[in-house]
Amino acid sequence: MNSDVVEVEVKGTLPTNGGCAVFLGNEEKVFVIYIDQMVGNAIMMFMKDAPLERPQTHDLFGHVLEALGAKVQRVIINDFKDEVYFGRLILKVENEIEEKKILEIDARSSDCIALAVKFDAPVYVAKKVLEKTDDVSEVFHRVESGDLSQKDEQDDNLIV
């Protein structure tokens, strides 16, 4: 694996005034990506393994991938420009037409995260992106414990 990236996990989600906060991180650092509410809801459902009556958009995409002999190998949050995170979806294709092939597709970081959670694929962040993020470990621990009574500059967007 490329040493320019660091593996992180999706730690949790929190609805916000404008959408959803997704907490990503590892032992050293937790950071937040703000995404739209619909993808945030999908990530929350995938994390809870909630059953759905009908397939949602990410389910449909997953079924198409499966039918084509492809699976999500990993996702990489590879860039951050103008307050927007960029992602890459790495697929492994193996079927009767293609022997084995790795595809890299440009995608919204939120969709990458949703697909990684749905298909239990690892999430990586470019070191250059991770260095630009604020460490919100303390905020995440308060969210996780349910104690949102304290407020600071880092969590102004969070609902309390």
pLDDT in tens, 11-58: 999 999 889 999 999 999 999 999 999 999 999 999 998 887 888 888
How far is 115 from 39, CA to CA, in rounded Å?
10
| CA proximity to 10, closest of 45, 36, 37, 38 | 45
* Global pTM value: 0.85
Q: What percent of the chain has pLDDT over 70?
A: 90
- What pLDDT does residue 2 have? 62
> What 3-state DSSP class applies to 69?
coil
All domains of the chain in start order, with CATH: 5-149 (3.10.690.10)
What number of residues does the chain have?
Answer: 160
Q: Which of 73, 105, 76, 55 is nearest to 8 (CA)?
A: 76
What are the counts of helices (DSSP H) followed by strands (DSSP E) for the chain? 5, 7
Neighbours of 49 (CB within 10 A): 8
> Under a CB-based contact definition with an 8 Å cutoff, are residues 116 and 76 in contact?
no
* pLDDT value at residue 148: 64
Alpha helices in 13-158 (DSSP H): 37-48, 57-67, 109-118, 127-132, 137-145
pLDDT tens per residue across all 160 residues of the chain: 568 999 999 999 999 988 999 999 999 999 999 999 999 999 999 999 888 788 888 888 988 998 888 999 999 999 999 989 999 999 999 877 767 889 999 999 999 999 999 999 999 999 999 999 999 999 898 888 877 655 544 445 554 3
According to DSSP, residue 74 is labeled: E
